Structure 1
């Protein structure tokens, strides 16, 4: 079982910029604020909870803390999830709660300057963009930047109390 603990406490000088943990879900690459990430773990089996929504895979015991695990492929309706050696659980620390999210793989930590972040396009009612910060561009690479705190605290998720 490999485990990576991240230390997001390093200070950056010069122009303000943001660091994002990049991860893959299907063919798309997403980014979340690195300061919300507590650690990255290999995928392990979870304990199912009766009557939980399908996207909540269950819970794990993380050093004495019971952590709900959300499968983001199921949440975003990206087809049947497969679990392999690249599948990881990103442990998040959000609003004084610990939540895990299953993703296909983690790419890297990326620093984006403010001018590299474009606003999310308006999609009308076809897509709820409330949880999108915008689109991060790095040359030909594009990251869909998620407001993970807003997503995890949405009424539909029901994981966190509204602040």
Structure 2
């Protein structure tokens, strides 16, 4: 008989840099991380969609998370990466400035965010993680990826 069993809810996040900020992406959404490559533009797409890439024969749409969050446009460096996310059987790529590390956060390391509908950028964040003395904004991947403009 197990007594005093405490369940800790741990989630792993990939920590990425976008501008000067650190963001965490729930690793369960991550399919792959690839180096920057030629992105083929798609006419009449949303301004934050950079186009598509060919990933081993699969066409993957790629979006700029910077433009989606109304930050300045991407500046590609040797550290820039495309994170391929699995979303409902579909793949989508997001551009980040740098992939830093994978961290494991406990529930106690995460402060939930109060949602402010007036501030668009905060709707993409569902919490703030604390790890090794640094703060990591935890991205709500579903709200980043979905098209609020179409609703």
Give the TM-score range, shorter chain.
0.7 to 0.9
Distance in structure 1 (CA, Å) of the matches to 2:103 and 2:27 = 9
1:55 alignment partner in structure 2: 48
Q: Secondary structure at the match of 1:68?
A: strand
Gaps (5+ residues) in structure 2? 1-6
Q: What's the Cα RMSD here?
A: 1.9
Aligned equivalents of 2:65, 2:47: Cα separation in 1: 11
After TM superposition, give the deviation of residue 132 of structure 1 in Å. 2.0
Q: Which residue of 1 aligns with 2:20?
A: 27
Question: TM-score, normalized by length of structure 1?
Answer: 0.81
Q: Which of 82, 98, 118 lines up with 2:91 in the alignment?
A: 98
Change (3 A) 1:79 1:144: same
Structure 1 residue 128, shift from structure 2 partner: 5.2
Match of 2:137 in 1: 144
Q: Give runs of aligned pairs for residues 58-97 of structure 1, distance below 5 A.
A: 58-97=51-90
- Which structure: greater helix fraction? 2
Bigger Rg, which one: 2
Gaps of 5+ in 1: 1-13
Displacement, 1:20? 0.5
Q: After TM superposition, give the deviation of residue 113 of structure 1 in Å.
A: 0.5
